[in-house]
Chains A and B, each alone.
Chain A
Amino acid sequence: MAELTLVEAVNDCLHTELARDDSVLVMGEDVGRAGGVFRATAGLRDRFGSDRCIDTPLAEAGILGTAVGLCMAGWRPICEMQYDAFSYPCLDQLINHVGRYHWRTRGAMEFPITLRMPYGGGVRAPELHDDSPEAYYVHTPGVKVAIPSTPADAKGLLAAAIRDPDPVVMLEPKLHYRTMRGEVPKGEHVTPLGVARTVREGDDLTFVAYGAMVPVAEAAADLLDATVEILDIRSLKPLDEDALLAAAAKTGRVVIVQEAPRVAGFGAELAAIIAEKAMLDLQAPVVRVTGYDVPYPYWQIEDAYMPSAERVAAAARKLLEF
C-alpha cells in the first residue's frame, strides 16, 4: 500500500497498465511533454516513448475518432479529455461510432477505448471547467461509465476500464485530485465494474452518491442524529442494482445526491429503479439533492449550486420525519 492523492493514483494506474500491456497507449492534449494539465500522465512519455503517450492536436472529436481507427489497428487507446465540458465535441464520435461499432460488426471487432476526464465543480475555475456530464455518457448505448470517489478506486476502476472489452468513460472528481489522499494498493489493482461500495453502514436512512458527492454524503451523515447507510455507486453502467436495492430496503428512506443538473440526471434513473423494484420496502418518497437546471454558475457563487452537506442533511431530516 502507498498513500497517494487521487491524481497520483490515476498516474500510478496508467504506469502500471502501460507496462502490463504494450498495446495500451495514452493520447490527448498536453498529456506527453507536460504530463497532463493535472499531471495525471506525468512520466509516461519518458518511460514509454512518444508513440505510447501522444500529444495530439487540440481536437476532441479527432482524438476519439482516430482512437476508433487505432482500435482497428490493434491498439487500446486511453483518451484524455482535458476537462469535462471540453469533451462535448467528442460526443459526435462517441454516440455515432464508439458506442455502435462493436454492434455494427456483429461483435467481430472490439473497441476497448478508455475515455477519461476530470469532472465537476468546486474548484473556482472559469466557465466550462466544472460540469458533471455523466448522464450524456450513461445514456449512450454500448458505453460504460465509472466514477471513483477514492484514490484506491481511481486506480482500480481505471484499470478495469482499460482492460474492459467495451468503451468505458471514466469521470475523475477533479476537486479531490489533490485534496484527497488514501491508501492505494501497489502494483496491479483492479476494482471490477458493476460493484458498488458500501461506504458506511447505518439503519435509519440511506444516502446514495458517487464521485465528489460521496464525501458530501459522509459530511451530511455526520450532521445527523441518525445512523446512515452510504452507498457509493462508483460504476454507473454496469450498475450494481442488487446493492442499490438492498441499501434502499435496509432503511426504507433514500436520499440520492447528484452534482449534475437535476433534470433527467443519473439520480432520476436510480430513483426510478428503486420505485420500480423496492416500492414496498420504502417508508418515504425517494428524494434527490442535486445541482439545478442552470448553466454551472460563476465560481464566486458556485457554492449556491453545489449540493452541500447542509442541503443533504436537511433533506434527510424531512425524510426521517415523513
Chain B
Amino acid sequence: MTEVVPAGRGLRRVIGDGASVPDGEVEGLDESDFLELYRQLVLLRTYDERSVVYHRQGRIGTYAIFWGHEAIQVGATFALDRGDWIFPSYRESAIGLLRGLPPATVLSWWRGHPAGWWNPLDYNLASICVPIATQVPHAAGLAWGKKLRGEPTVALTFFGDGATSEGAFHEGANFAGVMRAPLVLLCSNNQWAISTPLSAQTAAPTLADKAIGYGMPGARVDGGDVLAVWEATRDAVARARAGDGPTFIEAVTYRVAPHATADDPSAYIDAERVEEERERECLRRFDGYLRRLGLLDDETAERVKAEALEAMREGIAAAEAEPAADPELVFAHAYADPPPTLREGLLGG
C-alpha cells in the first residue's frame, strides 16, 4: 500500500465478480462491520436516488449526483475515527449522514434554505465545498494544526479528478507533504469533470503518480470496491496517525450519471460504456459479495432499503416543513462583529 503504483498495474480490489474473478479478503472487519458498510451504502444510494426524484418534482434545487461513488465515500469514512475530520466537496454532500447528520439538513442545503447548515465541530465535518479543490488546503491546515497541538487527529479530504488540475490541490498537497500533516487525500476519479475526460485533464499516466511530486505515497484502488477503499484508507490513516504524513489515494470509478441534475451528458459521453460501468456499480458488487459469504439475504436487504427510504421520507418531510426562512438571516453571521454600516441600503437607505 505504501508503494507508489506504477502506471498500467491493476487496481487493488477485494470483491470478485462471482465468476472468473475470485473474492479476496480483508483483515480487521467482522460480520457486523460488513452489515454496517452495507447499510451505509444503501443509505447513500437511497439518498442520491431520492434526491434526483425530489429534484424532478421541484422539491430541491440543482443537485450533484453521486450515484456510483458510494463505495468511495463509505469505505473511506469507515476507516476514520469519529474524531477525525472530513473535508467534502459537493460530490460528498450527504456524507454527514454517515455521522448522524439528519437527511433533512442536507436536503435543506440543496433546497437553498438557511436550515441547510451544520456546525462542523459537531460532526468533525467541514462545510460542503463548492469551488473545486479549495478545501484541500483547509484539510491540510487542520491536520497540520492538530499536529502542532499534539492531538492525534487525522483529516481526510475528498475531491475529484478535475480537482487535481487546480492550483489549490497542488498547494494543499504540497503543504501537507512539507508539514508532514496527518492527511489523507482521497481522489474520486470518476474520469469526467462535467464533459472533460481525464485524458484532457492530465498527461500523467495515473493520478496516483502525482503523489511522487509531493513526497508522499500514492495508491490506486478500485473505487467500486468498498473493501478496497476501506483498506487503503485504513493504511493511510495509520500512517498519518503514526506521524508519517499524508497519503494520496486514487479511487477509480466511472461517472455513470450526469454531473448534476442540470447536466445532459448525451452530448459528450459514450452511452455503451456507461451501460457497461453500470453493471459494475458498487452496491450491487458488495451485495453479491455478502450473499456469497452468506451474510445477506433478501429479507435483510429489503429491511435495510426500507429503513433508508423511511429516513428519506422523514427527511424531505422535515425539510419541507421548515418555516419560510427569515430574511433577517441575510444579515446574520456575515461577521462575528459586524460593521455598523452592514444594513446600509435597506429600504432605500
Contact = CB atoms under 8 A, between A and B. Distances in A.
B266 interface: no
Given A73-B142, A97-B134, A238-B341, A66 B172 contact: yes
Contact of B171 (A57, A166, A237, A276): A57
B337 A108 contact: no
Contact of B120 (A109, A144, A194): A109
Contacts of A89: 167
Contacts of B339: 144, 194, 237-239
Interface in B112-165: 114, 117-121, 126-127, 131, 134, 136-146, 148-149, 151, 153, 155
A107 interface: yes
Contacts of B117: 104-106
B125 to A, nearest CB: 11
Given A103-B334, A108-B120, A66 B340 contact: no
A69 B174 CA distance: 15
Contacts of A74: 145, 149
B349 interface: yes
Contact of B137 (A61, A104, A108, A164): A61
Contacts, number: 143
B333 interface: yes
A122 interface: no
Contacts of A239: 339, 341
B137 A69 contact: yes
A142 interface: yes
A102 B174 contact: no
Contact of A73 (B145, B175, B335): B145
B104 to A, nearest CB: 16
Contacts of B337: 164-166
A65 B142 contact: no
A141 B331 CA distance: 11
A286 to B, nearest CB: 18
A75 interface: yes
A56 B336 contact: no
Interface residues of B, number: 44
A66 B144 contact: yes
A57 B120 contact: no
Given A57-B178, A93-B134, A109-B119, A166 B335 contact: yes
A201 B172 CA distance: 51
B168 interface: yes
Contacts of A56: 175, 178
A62 B166 CA distance: 12
Contacts of A237: 339
Contacts of A166: 335-337
B242 interface: no
Contacts of B341: 238-239, 241
Interface of B: 85, 114, 117-121, 126-127, 131, 134, 136-146, 148-149, 151, 153, 155, 167-168, 171-172, 174-175, 178, 332-337, 339-341, 349
Closest 3 CB pairs of A and B: A69-B141, A65-B137, A73-B145
17 contacts: A62-B171, A65-B140, A65-B171, A66-B175, A72-B142, A96-B134, A102-B333, A103-B333, A104-B127, A105-B127, A106-B119, A108-B119, A108-B121, A142-B335, A238-B339, A238-B341, A239-B341
